[in-house]
Structure formats: structure tokens, C-alpha cells
Amino acid sequence: MKLNIPYHLENYIGGNLIGPLSGNFIDNFNPATGEIVGQIPESNEKDINIAVEAAKKAFPAWSVSPVEQRFRILNRIAELIEENLEELAIAETNDNGKPLWLAKEVDIPRASSNFRFFATGIMHFATESHNMEDKAINYTLRQPIGIVGCISPWNLPLYLFTWKIAPALAAGNCVIAKPSEVTPVTAFLLSKICKEAGLPDGVLNIVHGTGAVTGEAIVKHPDVKAISFTGSTKAGERIATLAAPKFKKLSLELGGKNPNIIFADVANHEGSWKKMLYNTIRSSFANQGEICLCGSRILIEESIYEKFKTDFIDWINKGLKVGDPLEEETKQGAIVSKVHFDKIIRCIDTAKQEGGKILCGGKAVKLEGRCANGYFIEPTVIEGLGPQCKTNQEEIFGPVVTLQTFKTEEEAIELANATQYGLAASIWTNGIGKANRVAAKVESGIIWINCWLLRDLRTPFGGVKNSGVGREGGWEALKFFTESKNVCIEL
């Protein structure tokens, strides 16, 4: 199949590609060039209403379809994503600003894996029974909720869009999905893939528009029974305010201000040291730092601080090229939008005002040629700021990290827990006892020991505190998108 991208994108409702009922569109920009490259529907509650009606029409048949049928369709979607990897990766890079090699190696393959994982998973999703000796037997039905809303962010557009849609569809639900208005293109292309794969009309409806209008219309609609959202804590708070009084099921994966804890014993072994440095560079600046799991607060044991700082800055200066996302040697691409670019620059200015010392970076990058008007920022490292300053408390979501020191294990834990967030943490140590002690006490939903972003799709994913509620991944996702019903039969 050929995935053509029109200048005016369309909504995917009831199996058809249609424009917004209002006739209004929003400009879509390529962040690497600053140019308008297309327009997306500015949908409103009227578009959501017709999407919900299409989903209601499709739900009775889809909800009771054999799991093998769902497997075949979702697995075919996975295959088509793989077959169109090159086109999807280029679309993702042009829309988001990330390096093309990253989209090819991570984003698009993971989108395919999401569909394949849940296509297979639903074939093995089992329920429980409980025998009451000679009195009765209880068994549990797990039934699809109905119509669910899936709202995804701009940092990993197709990757996170499919992470929500795939389990919802596998469980037998019909979906109203909204990608970010900042990065809409691969979601539009997914609609073509789903049509080609034979997904019944109305089972998946993809509606474009802003969070404030389109997203809220999804959340508010009385026939949408559950919301799965990934995005900022502020937006998650708004969604909870709207959905909670209606007793909708909620999964909110929100912000992070993740600690990367480095103990001195890592320096005792050259291989461990190099592995830590390499992965700390990745966790600091991968995807321009626009990943909720990035380690934006680096906590270093005091005795190795100078060695770490010297080696870390040296690696950045030698190997972290900021450049055109389409060039193979580029390690850091464009910031996703002008709005977000301006926010990151303001955050760096705030760090300076708070007394932070810029060790490297701190400025916008002006490229030549095609990307002369793009939104690029140097990888930035800041020291000299305490745990309670704004820079160490608020999520920047860009290529900016801070360095802090600690003397004891207890102080490391205290610093790690000194924010309102609790999504992820990395711990670097050669002491297995220390690793387990610290992992148990750090307030995060995900802990990596001597690694970062090593993901198994079977494991629960989510955070604590202001990083959200609920869990995604594996059986957790399939349980979220189903309702349990106990049936008791007296013998």
C-alpha cells in the first residue's frame, strides 16, 4: 500500500476519512525547518458525537468477536506498520523533529510491537475461578468496557498512540483516539493501515484537534466510559476533574522529574563506568530529552563528582551532535515546536537566575541550509542548584539536566524523593544489596538498576505521586480496558 500524506489531514470516523464538520483546520509545522507543511482538522464536540455514534454501531459485533479474529486483524496492522517502516519513520521525523535513525530503530518498530504484543496477549488472557468446597463455584468474566477514549502526546507519537489503542481494541472495546495536534501525521497514516488490515468500520475512530476542545469533548462525552491519557500533569489534573464526577475509569501517565543515582563503586570498574556514562548520556538527551522517562536530575556520590563531571561533559562535547534530523550522524534533532522551544529556553534562564552554573550548552543552535529556521537547543548541563529550586522541581522536558551530589545512601534517597513526581529512577552501583535497598525506598513506579529504558512489554508501567494513576502494559492494560464480573453458581 502507498501511504500518501495530503496537505489537509482528515479524521477517521466510521471507516471513512472525512474533514472536520466545522471546516476549520490548524497549521502543522516541521520543527526542523519551521515551515508549515500541512493542516489538521480542528475538530469539536460535533465530530466526537459522530465518532461515538460510529463506535456504538460497531461495538455489539466487535465486543463478542472471537479473540482469534481480533488477533488476525491486529497482527495484520503490526505487519503493515513494519512494511511501511520507511515512510512512517520519515513522517514521524518531519512531524516531531527526532533523528530519522531513532524513528527507524525505536519509534516505528515499537508501534508494530505494541499491536503484535496485544494481538498475541488477548489469545492468552485468562480469568479466574474460585471453588467454595461443596457449596459453590465462582468464576470471573472480564468484559470490554464499551467505548473508550485514548489521548496520546507528541513526544513518541505513533509509539504511545498504539500503546493505548492496541490493548483497548484487543479487549473488544471501540476507541475514540486523539493524537497530539502537534504531531498528527503518523496517526493519520495509521487510519489507512487499519482500513487496509480489515479492522471493521467504527471500531477505531481517530479524531484530530486540540486538547482543550477535542480532547475535552472525548472526556466529557457520556458514552465514553474510560480514558487513557499520557501527557502533562496539569492536563491530567484537568481530565481527572472532568471524568471523576462521572465515575469514568482513568489511566493517567503524567510527568516525571526522574533521578539518575550514581554511586562511587561504579568507578571501580572501567566497563561499569563506561556503561554508566553511555546510558546517562542517553537518559539525559535521548529524543532531545523529550521522554517522560529521561533522567533529568543526576545525583552523584561526592567522592566521584569531579571525575563524573569531567567525563560526562567530555562525552557530550565529542559525541552529541545537534543537527538536521535527516542526517545519519545527528544525535539530537529539533525541539518539537516553537512553543516548547521557548519554554525550554525560559527554564534555562530560570536556572541561571536561581544561581545555576551552565557547564555546557544553554543556548539555541542556529543551523545552516534546510534547518536554518528550525528549533534546536544545545544539550545543557547545570550544577550548583539545590533540590528545592524550581529547576529541580518542575519538569522541563528538554535537553537539560542538573547535577547534584550526595554523601550517603540515605541522602541519595532523600534527594531522589524530593519532588512531586515519581515515574522512574535509575540506580548505578556494583553492590546488589545497595541496589535493592535503594530501589525499595525510591518513590517511583519504575526502577532501572545499571540500565535505562530496558523495557519488557509484559511489565506494569506507570508512576506514583503526581506522575499519575493506574498502570499500562501487559495484563495491567487488558485489565484496565475490561470490567470484571463475578458469577457465583451454587452446587
Query: Hey, which residues are catalytic here?
Result: 253, 292
Note whether 432 and 289 are within 8 A (CB): no
How does strand 35-41 pair with strand 25-30? antiparallel
Whether the CA torsion 240, 243, 247, 250 is positive or negative: it is negative
**Residues in a beta bridge with 149:** 176, 227
Burial class (CB in 10 A: 0-12, 13-18, 19+), 67: middle
Helices (H), 181-297: 185-197, 216-220, 233-243, 270-285
Q: Determine the Cα–Cα distance for residues 36 and 455; give it in Å rounded to an integer.
A: 35
Burial class (CB in 10 A: 0-12, 13-18, 19+), 408: exposed
Q: Determine the Cα–Cα distance for residues 453 and 293; give it in Å rounded to an integer.
A: 8
Residue 459 CA, chain-centre distance (Å), reads 15
Q: Using the 8-state DSSP alphabet, how is residue 298 labeled?
A: E
Whether the CA torsion 91, 18, 207, 71 is positive or negative: it is negative
Residue 197 makes CB contacts below 8 A (sequence gap 6+) with 73, 76, 77, 80
All cell numbers assigned to 266: 561504579
All cell numbers assigned to 149: 477514549
